[in-house]
Amino acid sequence: MILAIESSCDDSSVAIMKASDFSLIHYEKISQEKEHAKYGGVVPELAARLHTAALPKVILRAKEHFKALKAIAVTNEPGLSVSLLPGIVAAKALATALNLPLISVNHLVGHIYSLFLEGPIKLPLGVLLVSGGHTMILGISKTGVISVLGATSDDSFGESFDKSAKMLGLGYPGGPQIQNLALKGDDRAYDFSLPLKGTKRLEYSFSGLKNQVRLACLELENSRIPSENSRISNKNSRIPSENFRISSHQKANIAASFERVACLHIIDRLKLAFSSQKWARFGVVGGASANLRLRSMLESLCASYDCELLFAPLEYCSDNAVMIARAAVAKYHNKDFCQNLEMHPRSSLENLKII
């Protein structure tokens, strides 16, 4: 069995997987969402302290399996350095105490492996990775080599939901909040413009859309509170972290219009990738792949290209140690151990491999 630790952002998680048949023996995750919610996003210092308190507890709750362990795996890249560090230190301490080898796992590779938790690895494959930190279109070759075909030049897809939710005063994480509120709104109420429309660039950009949300909020607030108008001379002077005082009906319309255009942007750029790649199968991973509107638009896209669409199980879309354990088992079978495990907070996916 392999014990895996994940702590790259705001979840402290441990999983144990059997190397012979990939069966899950143990899994626990302590999420810090509630603690970060009042700040509208992850506060690194707080995340570090919470990981330091949670990790020893979750690791010890797996103690009955320690005797059966053959290796300790840990996410060492990419992520918040102060979040990665407690996980790496815990993994090194455990590996030393139990005299076991260490396996390092790239968090994004872990997300890709979440596609293969319930079935065999299928390659070649196109992948959309949509999380809080990343938005990427990936190509994975027959031999498992990962290439980054396109990425965001500013905010990620998930981050744009988090920031829009913060402006609407909806709490953190913003993805599920926007999705739920959007169901009550009119997604055509605002004609937000589609980022990079008409260009052939295989990249994403969500900062302009986020700004359109901010301006829509500001305009509504200004029209509601005339006494405050005089104090706001330059509408760009308001920072987008403020909660605007607008009605819940208007918030729902903004959420729905934002979600429609954000998902449309994902699909619009994917069409470019599909026309050149001829993928027979396509997988979608990362926390934001839980978005139902995105899922249904991807279903239509893949159907029109006669392409098989793979999703990770919903419970393993967001950060978790199960996907890290699955990636680690593949490395264990290849005897890919790490003698000198180091942290790389900003590493990319280029030149990494599946299996």
Give the footprint of ligand KG4 on this chain (CB under 6 A). Answer: 9, 131-133, 158-159, 161-162, 173-176, 179, 286-288, 290-291, 318-319
Element (H, E) at 28: strand 24-31
Which one of 138-146, 261-269, 294-302, 313-321 is the stretch in contact with Zn ion (CB under 5 A)? 313-321
Q: Does 77 bind Zn ion (CB under 5 A)?
A: no
DSSP 131-170: -SS-EEEEEE-TT-BEEEEEEBSSS-HHHHHHHHHHHTT-
Q: How far is the CB of 127 from Zn ion (least distance, A)?
A: 13
Q: Does 257 bind Zn ion (CB under 5 A)?
A: no
Q: Which is nearer to Zn ion, 131 or 253 (CB)?
A: 131
CB 212 within 8 A of CB 218: no
- Which residues is 4 bridged to in the sheet? 15, 73
Alpha-carbon span 145 to 139, nearest angstrom: 8
Q: Which is nearer to ligand KG4, 126 or 133 (CB)?
A: 133
Q: How far is CA 49 from CA 56, 262, 273, in A?
A: 12, 34, 41
Nearest to 254 by CA among 297, 289, 211: 211
Nearest to 163 by CA among 195, 208, 194: 208
Residue among 131, 135, 164, 212 that touches Zn ion (CB under 5 A): 131
Nearest to 253 by CA among 168, 160, 159: 168
Which one of 73-81, 153-161, 248-256, 316-324 is the stretch in contact with Zn ion (CB under 5 A)? 316-324
Q: Which is nearer to ligand KG4, 7 or 291 (CB)?
A: 291
Q: Which is nearer to Zn ion, 133 or 185 (CB)?
A: 133
Alpha-carbon span 113 to 212, nearest angstrom: 35
Greatest CA span in the chain, whole angstroms?
Answer: 70
Q: Which does 179 bind (CB under 5 to 8 A by kind): ligand KG4, Zn ion, none?
A: ligand KG4
Which one of 127-135, 258-266, 273-281, 337-345 is the stretch in contact with Zn ion (CB under 5 A)? 127-135
Alpha-carbon span 104 to 73, nearest angstrom: 6
Q: Which does 185 bind (CB under 5 to 8 A by kind): Zn ion, ligand KG4, none?
A: none
Q: Which is nearer to Zn ion, 100 or 310 (CB)?
A: 310
Q: How far is the CB of 224 from Zn ion (least distance, A)?
A: 38
Q: Which is nearer to ligand KG4, 69 or 309 (CB)?
A: 309
Element (H, E) at 12: strand 11-17
Q: Which does 173 bind (CB under 5 to 8 A by kind): ligand KG4, Zn ion, none?
A: ligand KG4
Q: Does 319 bind Zn ion (CB under 5 A)?
A: yes
Residues within the interface to Zn ion (CB under 5 A)? 131, 319
